[in-house]
Structure 1
Amino acid sequence: MTATVRTVLGDVAPEELGVCDAHDHLFFRSPLLPGQELDDTAAAEAELHAYRNAGGGAVVQWTPHGLGRRAELLPELSTATGVRIVAATGLHQAAHYTPESLARLRPVLADVFVRELTEGIGDSGVRAGLIKVAGGFHALDDHAVWTMRAAAEAHHATGAPIAVHHELGTGVLDVLDLLCGELGLAPERVVLGHLNRSPDFAVHRQAAESGAYLAFDGPSRANHATDWRMPDAMAALADAGYGDRLLLGGDTTTAGARSVSGGPGMPYLLRRVRPRLELVLGKALVDRILVDNPGRVFAVERLPGT
């Protein structure tokens, strides 16, 4: 058995990712963000070049099904910039979709996920490397439970990891109860997103004890209690022995947040967040968080030649 990460240019060994932004978006379109769509190809390429120049090697795009992933453009962008890209299947919260589109997906959702992981997204031929789902604010509604059940079915068929959006960082333990308790996922195949948005160190510790990966993603949003509390939160986990379960991501979701549009963007993760974390955690651990941990969680065991 060998472990590989499925990028938009094909499967690679985990160590080939290099420095990895474990949660970000090159393309994203939602009715909840009118006028702020990430749909400009030239801007996406410029952002990847800026990230590459800052030392970045790979980006995991968490944009799921139906939200403007532009999967057909990702291989060319990866080739042009030298940044490896991992694409997602999955489904976001119900508010991002029309009721009609959700009704069409309801009987076939797990099949859609499996097809996008094994055959390709639409007609692009680009295969996804992870499944992205979403919880709600301190709770899991019927949509979230339905989506996570389909994601678990697809995971059991393919081995792909599941990455979870937590609304303002809440509902983490409920997600673990469902995915790893009732639905039988190994915790190390789950990425819990936005832990920085709810700086509850006790919940962080409980989540880490499960064996899941904890993503601190979306820095530069002071209103979400991110940057100034994130080093202490990550240090507490590292001191407790969970440094091998931590991930970092930028989570750029609006056009104005791109560095090429005057925002922090993807380079901010390496230009400002990385050195600040190195002061608290040490360079060796931050290197592991950016390189080793993403390569491990986004890799899938498979038989050689399949």
Structure 2
Amino acid sequence: MSPAPTSPGGAVPARVRTVLGDVPPELLGVCDAHDHLFFGSPALPGQELRDASAARAELAAFREQGGGSVVQWTPYGLGRRAADLPLLSRDTGVHVVAATGLHQAVHYTPESLRELRGRLADVFVRELTSGIGTSGVRAGLVKVAGGFHALDAHARWTMTAAAEAHHATGAPIAVHLELGTAALDVLDLLCGALEVPPHRVILGHLNRSPDLVVQRQAAEAGAYLAFDGPSRANHATDWSMPDAVRALADAGFGHRLLLGADTTTAAARSVNGGPGMPYLLRRVRPRLALALGAELVERVFTQNPGRALAVEWRSTPTRPT
């Protein structure tokens, strides 16, 4: 792939790193900002997303509803199938962004985690700049995870490595918040001690803990707030999400909002009778339009993801002094 064009001043313009290469943020179209085409964890036996044909059908169904891009938050070691992503993207016409990173410890064997000790940040940087395994597919963000109302040693280790990868590349960091909690602890660590700019942090699953005060504090800090998971059957907070999103928009934080489906099981896919990715556009989008107005909802689906994911990618470490 040829280097990104530079501006007259020599700066590399911000681009979103997709599985088919870096693209201008405005090309993302309508974006599902948090989802999974492939996913598998020993902690969730029998719920794996492994079928490439089903993933293709789900992307095609999303495209039929007007979808233009999907951000897969599946990190290292959880069945990302990075080599399959470019063909799926080409076949369906949907941009796909892949992730590096590491989930909670429960999703890995102790042996696999020991193998990563001392080199986790290097793994993240390599997957962001050179590619995932031998696929040549470069990740476009780092995904890590917090715990329930706290950050354990594993979370601090992975977030420290994610911050190092950010400083080396500029990559955004997406954070799984366990049941929507510990958002402020995450920001204290990443944006305080580890000096990651808040606008490079995406906080996921905030809808699972509908605390409007914490959500507003996170937005005031400058992070992006992802409301995701309408495809999941085990989180009964969909009814409160429009009010939370409206409260944030009314407070002036409409530009910090992201929306995603977070499809994590085969049964949840639309091609298997579940809501899946299309539900985000078929039902969630018009419901939010009633609360926020169609114009703002369109910006949340199109402009906000581009701002959250677009990076002036670099390949040499730089840290604030």
TM-score by length of 1: 0.98
Give 1:1-306 correspondences, 5 Å limit: 1=11, 2-221=13-232, 223-302=234-313
Partner amino acid, structure 1, of 2:225 = L
Distance, in Å, in 1 between the alignment partners of 2:218 and 2:163 is 18
Per-residue deviation, 1:261: 0.7
8 Å CA contact 1:196–1:225 kept in 2: the answer is: no
8 Å CA contact 1:26–1:61 kept in 2: the answer is: yes
Distance, in Å, in 1 between the alignment partners of 2:313 and 2:225 is 24
SS at match of 1:229: helix
8 Å CA contact 2:100–2:141 kept in 1: the answer is: yes
Per-residue deviation, 1:49: 0.4
Distance, in Å, in 2 between the alignment partners of 1:95 and 1:238 is 35
Distance, in Å, in 1 between the alignment partners of 2:313 and 2:129 is 12
Per-residue deviation, 1:175: 0.1
The ranges of structure 1 where at least 4 consecutive aligned residues each deviate by more than 2 angstroms after the TM superposition are: 220-226
Consecutive unaligned residues of structure 2, counting only runs of 5 or more, are 1-10, 315-321
Partner amino acid, structure 2, of 1:164 = V
8 Å CA contact 1:220–1:226 kept in 2: the answer is: no
For these two proteins, the number of residue pairs brought into alignment is 303
Distance, in Å, in 1 between the alignment partners of 2:230 and 2:244 is 13
TM-score by length of 2: 0.93
Distance, in Å, in 2 between the alignment partners of 1:118 and 1:223 is 36
SS at match of 2:230: coil
Partner amino acid, structure 2, of 1:17 = L
CA-based RMSD: 0.9
Per-residue deviation, 1:225: 3.4
Consecutive unaligned residues of structure 1, counting only runs of 5 or more, are none
Partner amino acid, structure 2, of 1:167 = E
Alignment-derived partner of residue 319 in structure 2: none
SS at match of 2:131: coil
8 Å CA contact 1:199–1:225 kept in 2: the answer is: no
Partner amino acid, structure 2, of 1:60 = V
Partner amino acid, structure 1, of 2:217 = Q
Distance, in Å, in 2 between the alignment partners of 1:299 and 1:259 is 29
8 Å CA contact 2:231–2:263 kept in 1: the answer is: no
SS at match of 1:232: helix
